[in-house]
């Protein structure tokens, strides 16, 4: 069955001039999807149950005994990072926004490179459980409590979106009502994370990464082969090379980095810089990513896990490009020419639509399992960081003499509570949570990242600077996103359409600037034990007052941050040549979100 035939059977007339597509999975696709899901969920629960036998200390529950190898940790990091929104939503974003998605993905990968250089080795040598615990021991209890509150905020932004996605997949693919699907999916992931702790989460995330990779690459190979990509189809991430001339003829602006949506929305160099600040720096600050480094068996394995994660994440990301490319090309050449329109609400299902149209049913059902695996993996990682942040970091602060057993018990309790609360919040989520994942990155880049990097690389950063920086960055990241870049009538982030995606250009820069200025104004760090610990986490056997204590680095950071804050508020410049591209005939596509 071709995609055109499939669509023709499912279209409902929207007007005399156009028909709007409604996706409906075949009965066989739904049946195989249910079978795959049941097998997968049974495996996840079994892995969580057998992992329970390995939990005897808080190190086991919170950090898997620090025994996870480089490859396993890299796979776990891959599935931990690649959410359901990534697995399904990226194809829709590429279809709608074209080159902008590449900027986002390269920022993701760039963030991991910066993690491997600037953060991962030091966090592993510190040897705790979470980045919040690092912040607490480096900058004091107040800073730790603020960091945990920031973690809860961004975890909720992340979690509710993922839970909503899981419920929607059950609803669309299996004809199970949203609430039932949400409760089933939420309880499954909450159960295996709570029961198995970090051991169960790590093993499951490793399995989930393998499932996701197969579930995206195999259908894509069939899709590319059947639309004429030729022998390149055997390696889907770059399998559409032979079709590029056809795409550039149909849509000349497809590969233009300064325009998107058929050449009708301009993006400047400043916009790309803003995306880098929001996504790449947000990746560094995500606590559920940083948490994986504490499970590594050595500093070497911590570095290797980042390299494996970059490889597998890149493999999946670039494969989603291929499906998005195929869907866009077919839309331009076939559907739009016939007066057919794909609505925005259907765009997130393009992976399944294309798979059902161009691959055998047993293959087409794989993306369903892959999407659920992606959602459950990310939810599991976030529940684990919530359980650790509250059950260990906050609990050990309030009860400093608590036994190791009671700390582990609190981890069980708060991980389970986090899952149940998220399910309740997801029963009727607000619409703005559709973009909440990117908002979580903005919060992370504006709160955790400046404090982590300056705390590791500058001895002068102190508790007053860290507290002020997190508060300023946190407040601004919420306010500027909500108001699309303005505050008290001033446009602090001036990026035009979709500018709120890059609001961290101002909020993150303000946080960096604040940490440095306040630390200098309050005399810097004077605690000798903390100063010595900075040398230790960099691997030095001896201490020296001259290491990481110079003034050039922090002053350069503050100067650049201030310049970027001013730059963010200046009017954006439309790239030269854009107007010519903008008049290209538009296709019938859903409107870009404001």
pTM (2 d.p.): 0.83
pLDDT at 5: 36
C-beta contacts of 558-565 below 8 A and 24+ residues apart = 558/512, 558/513, 558/516, 558/517, 561/509, 561/510, 561/512, 561/513, 561/516, 562/509, 562/513, 564/273, 564/277, 564/505, 564/506, 564/509, 565/492, 565/506, 565/509, 565/510, 565/513
Write down the mean pLDDT value for the chain.
82
* pLDDT value for 453: 95
Strand partners, 81: none
What are residue 493's phi and psi, to 5 degrees?
Answer: -125, 110
DSSP string across 97-157? HTHHHHHHHHHHHHHHHHIIIIIHHHHHHHT-S-HHHHHHHHH-HHHHHHHHHHHHHHHHH
Residue 83 has pLDDT above 60, yes or no: yes
Q: Give the dihedral of Cα atoms 9, 10, 12, 15; nearest 10 deg.
A: -70
Most confident option among 172-181, 313-322, 415-424, 472-481: 472-481
Q: Which domains does the chain have, with CATH numbers?
A: 3-573 (1.20.1730.10)
pLDDT at 118 over 80: yes
pLDDT for position 15 = 39
- Residue 340: in which H helix or E strand, if any? strand 340-341
Contact 466, 143 (CB under 8 A): yes
Question: Which range among 126-135, 412-421, 463-472 has the greatest average pLDDT?
Answer: 463-472
Give the Cβ contact number of residue 6 at 10 Å. 19
Alpha-carbon distance of 123 to 285, in angstroms, equals: 12
- Report the candidate in 445, 471, 455 with the shortest Cα–Cα distance to residue 519: 455
pLDDT in the model for residue 503: 92
Biggest alpha carbon distance in the chain? 78
Per residue in 244-303, pLDDT (tens digit) is 898 888 888 888 877 777 677 777 888 888 988 888 999 888 888 878 888 888 888 888
The 10s digit of each residue's pLDDT in 204-225 is: 889 989 998 999 899 999 999 9
pLDDT at 477 > cutoff 80: yes
- Distances from the Cα of 574 to the Cαs of 102, 259, 268, 492, in angstroms? 20, 10, 6, 18
pLDDT of residue 480: 93
By percentage, how much of the chain surpasses pLDDT 70?
A: 89
Q: Which residues pair with 260 in a beta bridge?
A: 265
The count of other CB atoms within 10 Å of the CB of residue 230 is 13
CA distance 421 to 441: 22
Contact of 503 with 282, CB cutoff 8 Å: no
pLDDT in tens, 409-454: 888 888 888 888 888 888 876 554 446 778 888 999 999 999 999 9
Q: How many CB atoms lie within 10 A of CB 590?
A: 17
pLDDT digits (tens, 9 = 90+) for 152-201: 888 888 787 778 778 878 877 777 888 888 888 888 888 888 888 888 88
Q: What are the tens digits of pLDDT across the range 345-395?
A: 667 777 888 888 888 989 988 888 888 888 888 888 888 888 887 877 777
CA angle 197–416–155, rounded 5-degree value: 90
Helix (DSSP H) and strand (DSSP E) numbers for the chain: 28, 7
Residue 92, phi then psi, degrees to nearest 5: -65, -40
- The pLDDT-based confidence of 343 (bands split at 50, 70, 90) is low
Helices assigned H by DSSP within 253-298: 269-275, 281-285, 287-293
For residue 555, give Cα distances in angstroms to 119, 277, 369, 527: 20, 19, 50, 21
Instruction: Give the pLDDT confidence score for residue 314 in this predicted structure.
Output: 85
Range scoring the smallest mean pLDDT among 42-51, 246-255, 578-587: 578-587
């Amino acid at each position: 069955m071709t995609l055109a035939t499939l669509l023709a059977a499912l279209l409902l007339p929207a007007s005399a001039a156009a028909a709007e597509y409604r996706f409906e999975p075949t009965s066989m696709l739904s049946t195989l999807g249910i079978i795959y899901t049941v097998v997968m969920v049974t495996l996840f629960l079994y892995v969580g149950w057998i992992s329970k036998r390995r939990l005897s200390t808080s190190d086991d529950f919170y950090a898997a005994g620090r025994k996870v190898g480089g490859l396993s940790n890299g796979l776990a990091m891959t599935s931990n990072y690649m959410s359901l929104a990534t697995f399904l939503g990226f194809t829709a974003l590429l279809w709608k926004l074209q080159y902008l998605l590449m900027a986002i993905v390269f920022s993701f990968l760039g963030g991991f490179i910066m993690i491997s250089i600037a953060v991962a080795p030091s966090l592993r040598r510190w040897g705790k459980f979470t980045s919040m615990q690092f912040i607490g021991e480096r900058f004091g209890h107040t800073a730790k409590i603020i960091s945990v509150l920031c973690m809860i905020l961004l975890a909720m932004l992340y979690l509710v979106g993922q839970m909503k996605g899981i419920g929607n997949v059950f609803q669309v693919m299996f004809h199970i009502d949203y609430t039932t699907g949400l409760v089933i999916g939420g309880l499954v992931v909450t159960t295996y994370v709570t029961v198995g702790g970090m051991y169960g989460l790590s093993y499951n995330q490793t399995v989930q990464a393998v499932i996701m990779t197969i579930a995206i690459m195999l259908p894509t190979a069939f899709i590319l082969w059947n639309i004429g990509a030729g022998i390149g189809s055997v390696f889907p991430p770059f399998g559409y090379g032979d079709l590029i001339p056809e795409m550039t003829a149909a849509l000349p602006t497809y590969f233009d980095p300064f325009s998107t949506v058929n050449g009708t929305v301009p993006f400047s160099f400043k916009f790309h810089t803003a995306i880098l600040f929001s996504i790449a720096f947000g990746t560094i600050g995500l606590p559920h990513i940083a948490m994986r480094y504490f499970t590594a068996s050595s500093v070497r394995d911590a570095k290797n896990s980042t390299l494996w994660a970059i490889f597998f994440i890149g493999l999946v990301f670039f494969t989603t490009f291929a499906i998005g490319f195929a869907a866009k090309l077919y839309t331009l050449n076939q559907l739009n020419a016939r007066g057919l329109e794909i609505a925005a609400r259907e765009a997130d299902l393009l992976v399944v639509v294309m798979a059902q149209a161009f691959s055998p049913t047993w293959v087409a059902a794989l993306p369903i399992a892959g999407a659920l695996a992606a959602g459950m993996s990310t939810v599991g990682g976030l529940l684990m960081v919530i359980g650790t942040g509250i059950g260990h970091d906050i609990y050990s602060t309030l009860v400093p003499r608590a036994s190791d057993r009671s700390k582990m018990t609190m981890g069980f309790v708060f991980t389970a509570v986090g899952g149940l609360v998220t399910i309740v919040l997801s029963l009727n989520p607000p619409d703005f949570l559709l973009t909440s994942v990117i908002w979580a990155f903005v919060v992370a880049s504006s709160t955790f990242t400046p404090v982590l990097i300056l705390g590791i690389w500058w001895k002068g950063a102190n508790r007053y600077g860290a507290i002020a920086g997190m508060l300023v960055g946190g407040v601004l990241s919420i306010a500027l996103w909500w108001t699309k870049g303005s505050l008290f009538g001033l446009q602090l982030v001036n990026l035009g359409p979709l500018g709120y995606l890059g609001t961290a250009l101002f909020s993150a820069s303000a946080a960096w600037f604040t940490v440095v200025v306040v630390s200098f104004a309050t005399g810097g760090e004077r605690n000798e034990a903390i100063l010595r610990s900075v040398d230790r986490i960099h691997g030095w056997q001896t201490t020296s007052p001259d290491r990481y204590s110079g003034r050039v680095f922090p002053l350069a950071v503050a100067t650049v941050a201030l310049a970027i804050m001013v730059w963010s508020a200046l009017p954006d410049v439309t790239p030269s040549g854009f107007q010519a591209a903008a008049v290209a005939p538009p296709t019938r596509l859903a409107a870009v979100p404001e």
